[in-house]
Amino acid sequence: MARRKIIAGNWKMNMTPSEAVALCDTLKDLVKNDEVDVVYCVPAIDIVPVAQAVKGSNVHVGAENFYIEDKGAYTGEISAPMLKDAGVEFVIIGHSERREYFKEDDCFLNKKVKKAFEAGITPILCCGESLEQREMDVTMDWIRLQIKSDLAGVTADQVKSMVIAYEPIWAIGTGKTATSDQAQEVCKGIRDLIAEMYDADTAEAVRIQYGGSMNAGNAAELLSKPDIDGGLIGGASLKPDFGKIVNYNK
């Protein structure tokens, strides 16, 4: 069974609530494509207005972060059940920016993955190597360690339903995209690892995205690769060009 492509925008810390609604309106007709899943992962404060703005369309709402407890004295934090109640279906976990700036380690990320499933939200789990690691030829070793740690105790059925995003850190926001062969090689490596950790069915079902300077010009080529099932898109998700990425097959 062919895996359905999933194109997700990662808005990062961009868009005020009113800008967010305006962007949803701009993109509304441009992101129509029955053959792919479309997700907007938006800042927490934009979730409610975006959920309202995309109601009745093909767009799913995603979040960029949450805290691992359900509720309580954690000033400033937002929980997974809160996201769920607001209409969130997907959440980014383990983005390199959160790993780097907010010191989220794999032990913590493993808790987040489990908590997302507990709340009924699909994780988009990110992994990826730095330029130094690529040059040292330890890319796959590093990514295997990330995935193995982040998925410890996660069941095969859960993995089948989730999304993994391969995002080489050197390609994020730099305009420097991995070649489609480089991206395919690592995405296949991740699928092989899932087969090793679980079984062939699980590896066949899990959707693996590429992320890192994906744009309207390079999306079709990247998405033509057998193990690349979608994209996680930062910069280009804030522009009308996002519609061209979603419609890469048209």
User: Which region among 105-113, 145-153, 154-162, 228-236 touches ligand PGA (by CB under 6 A)?
Assistant: 228-236
User: Which region among 22-30, 102-110, 129-137, 229-237 touches ligand PGA (by CB under 6 A)?
Assistant: 229-237
Q: Which of 233, 238, 245, 246 binds ligand PGA (CB under 6 A)?
A: 233
Q: In the structure encoding, which two tokens stand for residue 128, read together?
A: 């990826």
Q: Which of residues 193 and 214 has its CB atom nearest to ligand PGA in the complex? A: 214
Q: In the structure encoding, which two tokens stand for residue 117, read together?
A: 């499933």
Q: Which of 109, 214, 238, 246 binds ligand PGA (CB under 6 A)?
A: 214
- In 3-state terms the chain splits into helix, strand, coil percentages (rounded to 5) of 45, 15, 40
Q: Taking CB under 6 A as the rule, which mask of x and - marks residues 4-23 in contact with ligand PGA?
A: ------x-------------
Residues from 33 through 72 that contact ligand PGA (CB under 6 A) = none
209 binds ligand PGA (CB under 6 A): no
Q: How far apart are CA 125 and CA 118, in angstroms?
A: 15
The residue from 64, 97, 104, 167 that is catalytic is 167
Closest CA to 59 of 15, 23, 97: 23
The residue from 60, 64, 95, 129 that is catalytic is 95
Q: Please count the other Cβ atoms lying within 10 Å of the Cβ belonging to residue 3.
A: 14
User: Which region among 80-88, 194-202, 211-219, 241-249 touches ligand PGA (by CB under 6 A)?
Assistant: 211-219
Any idea what DSSP says for residue 29? T
Instruction: Give the containing element (helix H, strand E) for 90.
Output: strand 90-93
Any idea what DSSP says for residue 4? P
Residue with tokens 């070793």: 141
- 167 catalytic residue (yes or no): yes
- 69 catalytic residue (yes or no): no
Q: Which residue is nearest to ligand PGA (CB)?
A: 234
Closest CA to 6 of 30, 35, 41, 42: 35
User: Which region among 81-89, 179-187, 192-200, 212-220 touches ligand PGA (by CB under 6 A)?
Assistant: 212-220
Residues from 149 through 208 that contact ligand PGA (CB under 6 A) = 167, 172-173
**Shortest CB 62 distance to ligand PGA, Å:** 12
- Provide CB contacts within 8 A for 201, sequence distance 6+: 156, 160
- What is the torsion angle, in degrees rounded to the nearest 10, for the CA atoms of residue 219, residue 230, residue 32 and residue 238? -70
**Shortest CB 186 distance to ligand PGA, Å:** 15
Q: Which of 43, 49, 94, 234 binds ligand PGA (CB under 6 A)?
A: 234
The answer to whether 46 and 238 are in contact (CB under 8 A) is no
Instruction: Give the containing element (helix H, strand E) for 39.
Output: strand 36-42
Catalytic center residues: 95, 167
Q: Interface residues with ligand PGA (CB under 6 A)?
A: 10, 167, 172-173, 211-214, 232-236
